[in-house]
Amino acid sequence: MVISHIYRFEKLRDGGSLIASFQSDDSCEYWVMFPVANFEPENPIFKEPILVNRTTGIEINLSRSGARLWLKKLEPFFNSREELPNVSKQSENEIFGRMLELCCE
């Protein structure tokens, strides 16, 4: 799979799941996702990461090292992308950093 471009790193309003969204050369949108396991915003616990094809709805379980590989593939796209309107690059940096930390836990 070849990554076409990255959309964003964000925290979802489902209680705090973390995602990195991107599009690949198959024209599908994907998420590398750390789903939240509890609803405590101050101390969230995350489930194991998954890769979600948002176009087909297919979800694939990832190991933490597998999620780290995906995030590292996305990093150059993120670093070279212009800042998005209404989205703080600092906020995205914090989410990206937190996702990388979760890969090492």
If DSSP states are collapsed to H, E and C, what string results for 10-70?
Answer: EECCCCCCEEEEEEECCCCEEEEEECECCCCCCCCCECCCEEEECCCCCEEECCHHHHHHH
pTM of the model: 0.89
Structural domain count of the chain: 1
37: domain range?
3-103
The CA distance from 48 to 37, in Å, is 9
pLDDT per residue, tens digit, the chain (105 aa), is 899 989 889 999 888 999 999 999 999 999 999 999 997 878 899 999 999 999 999 999 999 999 999 999 999 988 777 766 666 667 888 999 999 999 998
